[in-house]
Chain A
């Protein structure tokens, strides 16, 4: 199946610093990528939809100035958590669907566990 690579797998950063997470589709083109956040024992929560070549669409309650999303190419989207705080510690997961089919499943990256200390 298709592969989505997410990097890094885990990161520890100091409060107030910024962290960049990359999401790449390795063998298919993804016009749209999705960023999720998951707190322990909770379901996936969609943060934003990343559209290649245009601005991301953020879900209600997600600060677009804090969670910067860039989708510069059909195979790469990045999420930057700016001025991270301990409450931003979470599991961040990206997913992508093949641009060729709207009814295909979403392929997920491995996830990034962010710990802000």
Chain B
């Protein structure tokens, strides 16, 4: 079966750095997405990785290792508004999006 694993919840301090991991086992791979979802709102796109390596976009970076079936989202200089759920999603061989359960990130002052 297809499976995506993320930690359920993480806590970090304002101004610090946090890394959210995602491991996946899917039938084929055509890219990995990270989305941010605030409570009661629709997810918003953060990043897309299809090749191995690190993609940096401002305070957020995303890393992919296809051989390990592993990705992480790195958030720097954390702000209170970064408190949200972070969803990892993988596109399989049929270009269907498979979603992880999401990681709830709690930022403390």
Q: Which residues of A contact B (CB under 8 A)?
A: 1, 6, 34, 42-44, 46, 49, 91, 93, 102-103, 105-111, 113
Interchain CB contact under 8 A, A109 and B30:
no
B12-20, B53-61, B96-104: which one contacts chain A?
B96-104
Interchain CB contact under 8 A, B95 and A109:
no
Interface string of B53-80 (1 = CB under 8 A from A): 0000000000000000000000000000
Size category of the binding interface on chain B: 20 to 34
Q: How far is the CA of A72 from the CA of B92 in the complex (A)?
A: 27
Interchain CB contact under 8 A, B91 and A103:
yes
Total A-B residue contacts, Cβ distance less than 8 Å: 43
Q: Which residues of B contact A (CB under 8 A)?
A: 30-31, 33, 40-45, 48, 50, 87, 91, 95-97, 99-102
